[in-house]
């Protein structure tokens, strides 16, 4: 079995390509919305409403795609960042993580732990 390694520049290029392609899709979507708007303006009643419903469905689909792309981009960025770290860097970072059962360590959690609710 061959081990394949992907370099930082390859991942960066991939991120940039994804962003460029998604921007292209968003541009096409804007054009499509313009067409739908012009058609919707010529229709009255139920027909106009149907165009509006379709445009909303398309917009919601694009939001879902954008969220997926963002998650994917973040995963690539984490991979790029972690690939440059050595074990000692990761060990140092993990030493700063305080693991206490039932406690997240943020200010809200600390207030909740000391709020006196348990005394009620």
Task: Give the model confidence (pLDDT) of 78-91 as tens digits.
Answer: 877 776 666 666 66
Domain boundaries of the chain, sorted by first residue: 8-92
Cα 56 from Cα 62, distance rounded (Å): 10
For 59-98, b where at least 16 C-beta lie within 10 A, e where not — what string?
A: eeeeeeeeeeeeeeeeebeeebeeeeeeeeeeeeeeeeee
Look at residue 20 and tell me whether its pLDDT is greater than 90.
yes
DSSP 103: B
CATH classification number, 8-92, choose in 1.10.287, 1.10.20, 1.10.8, 1.10.150? 1.10.287
pLDDT tens, position by position, 41-77: 787 778 778 888 888 898 899 888 888 888 888 888 8
Higher pLDDT, 7 or 65: 65
- Alpha-carbon distance 9 to 96, whole Å? 30
Between CA 62 and CA 55 the distance in angstroms is: 11
pLDDT at 103 over 60: no
Residues 16 and 115: their CA atoms lie apart, in Å, by: 47
The pLDDT of residue 14 is above 80: yes
């Amino acid at each position: 079995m061959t081990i394949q390694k992907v370099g930082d520049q390859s991942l960066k290029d991939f991120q940039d390509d994804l962003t460029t392609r998604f921007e292209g899709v968003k541009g096409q979507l804007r054009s499509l919305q313009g067409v739908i708007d012009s058609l919707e303006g010529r229709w009255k009643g139920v027909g106009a409403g149907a165009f509006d419903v379709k445009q909303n469905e398309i917009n919601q689909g694009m939001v879902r795609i954008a969220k997926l792309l963002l998650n994917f981009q973040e995963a690539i960025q984490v991979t790029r960042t972690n690939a440059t770290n050595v074990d000692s860097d990761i060990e140092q970072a993990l030493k700063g993580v305080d693991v206490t059962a039932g406690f997240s360590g943020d200010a809200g959690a600390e207030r909740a732990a000391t709020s006196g609710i348990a005394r009620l």
